[in-house]
Amino acid sequence: MGRERRWAIIKKSSLKRETTTVGEAFQKTKDLMRKAGYPIEDNVRVVVNPNLGFMGYTFPKAGRFTIVVSGAAVESGLLGGLIVHEMGHVYRMQTNHPSHSGRAISYAMDLFDGRALKMDYQQKILHEVVNHVEDLYADDISFKVFQKNNLFPPEVAGQFFQGWMTPSTVVSGDARKDRWVNASLMLRNSFALRQYG
């Protein structure tokens, strides 16, 4: 999931229990990745942001990777699956896969900037498109690990991704914006269908 989202500083002392749970899940996940043929290097850590409004994300910095999981994800019963998913991103970055190449993404984004797509919603949707591509390649790995270990079984995945879907189009009166938003909803629906279809 998005690597450029805003990061909030959290107090570790208030997170002792979550830190233990997450630490155990992290160790177990590294093991599963190695056994599935996707070894993860030691330059990765997982932290909890209790106030994060979505499941989690990963960001690279100075050759290291930080996986951020939300407080809700810790409580959701889906923590293991989430960390495997984020490890899929880490593996793609560690192995320099083009889908996670900062250079390739910047190049593609610059092409759009040249066409003066300056509205906030346009920038947001372009970032979502990049995230979808990254997620597809991360999940090619994570779904293999899920299947091998009966993590995130199809009926749970089905429910999870149904929650991503929007059944109807948006009509706000701003025709140009509506075209963008509805195209992005269609893309998101297609992504969710692909994940559990």
**Which of 1, 72, 108, 109 is the binder for Zn ion (CB under 5 A)?**
1
The one-letter code for the residue type at 180 is W
Q: Which residue is nearest to Zn ion (CB)?
A: 1
For 191, phi and psi rounded to 5 degrees?
-60, -50
Find the shortest distance in angstroms from Cβ 70 to Zn ion.
13
Binding segment toward Zn ion, per CB under 5 A, in 111-119, 133-141, 154-162, 172-180: 133-141
- Residue of 91, 57, 58, 83 lying closest to 151 (CA atoms): 83
CA-to-CA dists, residue 41 to 20, 86, 108, angstroms: 21, 14, 29
- Kind plus residue range of the DSSP H or E element containing 127: helix 120-149
Scan residues 144-173 and list those touching Zn ion (CB under 5 A). none
Find the shortest distance in angstroms from Cβ 49 to Zn ion.
15
Residues binding Zn ion: number (CB under 5 A): 2
Vertex 131: Cα angle to 67 and 95 (nearest 5)? 60
Find the shortest distance in angstroms from Cβ 1 to Zn ion.
4
**Which of 44, 135, 146, 151 is the binder for Zn ion (CB under 5 A)?**
135
- The residues of the shown chain that bind Zn ion, judged by CB under 5 A, are 1, 135
